[in-house]
Amino acid sequence: MWWRSASFILDKNDSFLRDDSETRLLSPPPSSSMAQTLDPNLTISPYYQTRAAHHGVVTSDWLAQAHAAAGRDTATPSSEPEASLNSIGSDNSFSVIDEFNNWRKQPDLAEAVAAIRALASVIRSSQATTMMELQNELKTASDSLKSWDMTSISLTAGCDLFMRYVTRTSAVEYEDFDSAKSRFLERAENQALLLQARKIIAMLGQDFIFDGCTILVHGFSRVVLELLKTAAENRKHFRVLCTEGRPDRTGLRLSNELAKLDVPVKLLIDSAVAYSMDEIDMVFVGADGVVESGGIINMMGTYQISLVAKSMDKPVYVAAESYKFARLYPLNQKDMVPALRPIDFGVPIPSKVEVETSARDYTPPQYLTLLFTDLGVLTPSVVSDELIQLYL
C-alpha cells in the first residue's frame, strides 16, 4: 500500500500544488439537480444526512448546509424547464427523487421500502400503455434514484428488487396491462413490507439476550431498537451501554428511546469502549450494508468496536434485513464509494488541518459472530450463498 510508505511524501508535495477540494472530495455525480455540482461543499452523503435528520440531534453546521440545500431545491424548479428540454423523461425522474426524499424523511420507514414506494408513484403517474414502456420508465427512474445517492446500499437494493419483481412476474402471469399495473401498486404499498422483516429479526435476536446480560450498542439502528424492544417486552432483564456515536450523537437518541422502555442505559464516549468491554456480554450493531464476504458496512466506529470485542472474546451480533445484502467486496477500508459527513468540532479549525469525514467503515467477517436477518440466523460464511440465491 503505497500511501503507507515513505514515498507518499513525494505525492503529498504534489497535491499541495493542486486544489485540495478537488482531489480529496469525490462527489457522487447527480444527474438531475445540476445546480448542486456548483457547490463543492455539498459532497456529503445524502443517506447519512437523512439518518442524522432522523436522529433529531443536528449540528449547527449541518443545519446551515441543509438550509442552503433546501433553498437550492426550491430554486431548481425554475431551472427545471431547461432540464426538461434536455431529457425526455426528466419530469418523472425529478419527481421520483422528490418523492423518494419525502418517503425517506419518515423516521420509521426503511430505505428500500421508501425506494419501492417512490417507484410505485412512478407507476401511478405513468401514462404507459404497454408493459415494455412501463418497464423502461421504471428503469429510468430507478437509474436516476441510484445515481442521485450512490452511497446508499439499501436504496440500490430496493430499486433492483422492485425492478426484478416487475420484469419477472409480468412475463409469466398477466395478459391484461391494467390489472398488472394495479397488482404492482398493491404489492408495493403493502403495509406488511414495513414491519415484517424487522419483526422477524427481533424475534430471532431476542433469544440471544439472557437475563442479567450487558449489551453494547453502537449507532442508532431501528432494527436493533426493535430487537431490544421485543426483548424488554418478553420481560428479559438486561442493561445497555450505548456509545455516544460522534458526530451524529446516535447514543443520545438511543438512550432516550431505551429510557422510555425502562431499560437501564449507560452512555459511553466512543473512546471508553475498550475500558468497559470487560463488563459487556455481547455487542449489537445494525448494518448499512452486508457485503459478499460476510462483513458489514456500518457507521464509523463499528470496526473499532469489533476489534476490541474480538480481542476480548465477546460476540458481535449484527441485525440486518435481507435487502441490505450487496454484491460488493471491499478489500480494505477505502475500497467503497466515499460517504462523507461534516463534523462540527464546536471551535473553528485552521484550514491547514485535514479532517477525516468518512461516515462509515467496513468490518471484515472474522470479527462478526452471527447475523440476524429475515432469512434466519446466519454465520458470516452463509452470506455469499444467500446472495447468490437472492440475485438468481
Query: Given the rule CB under 8 A, which residues bind other proteins?
Result: 112, 161-162, 164-165, 168-169, 172-173, 175-176, 183, 187, 190, 192-193, 196-197, 200, 207-208, 210, 321-323, 370, 373-379, 381-382, 385, 389-390
What single-letter DSSP state applies at residue 44? B
61 vs 374 by CB, closer to other proteins: 374
Least Å distance between CB 208 and other proteins? Answer: 4
Least Å distance between CB 202 and other proteins? Answer: 14
Taking a C-beta distance cutoff of 8 angstroms, is the pair 290, 324 a contact?
yes
300 vs 375 by CB, closer to other proteins: 375
Q: Look at the block and give the residue holding cell 404499498.
A: 189
Residues composing the chain: 392
Least Å distance between CB 176 and other proteins? Answer: 8
Angstrom CA distances, 358 to 48, 51, 66, 252, 364, stand at 10, 14, 18, 21, 17
Least Å distance between CB 251 and other proteins? Answer: 26
Least Å distance between CB 184 and other proteins? Answer: 10
94 vs 317 by CB, closer to other proteins: 317
CA 88 to mean position of chain CA atoms: 30
Least Å distance between CB 294 and other proteins? Answer: 9
Nearest by Cα to 246 from 40, 55, 41 = 55
66 vs 390 by CB, closer to other proteins: 390
Angstrom CA distances, 365 to 114, 163, 280, stand at 29, 30, 21
Query: For residues 250 and 244, what is the distance between their CA atoms, to the nearest angstrom?
Result: 6
6 vs 172 by CB, closer to other proteins: 172
Question: For the stretch 315-330, what's the b/e string if a residue is b when 16 or more beta carbons lie within 10 angstroms of its beta carbon?
Answer: ebbbbbbbbbbbebeb
- H or E segment at 81? helix 60-86
100 vs 208 by CB, closer to other proteins: 208
Query: For residues 354 and 301, what is the distance between their CA atoms, to the nearest angstrom?
Result: 19
266 vs 327 by CB, closer to other proteins: 327
Query: For residues 213 and 282, what is the distance between their CA atoms, to the nearest angstrom?
Result: 8
Least Å distance between CB 52 and other proteins? Answer: 25
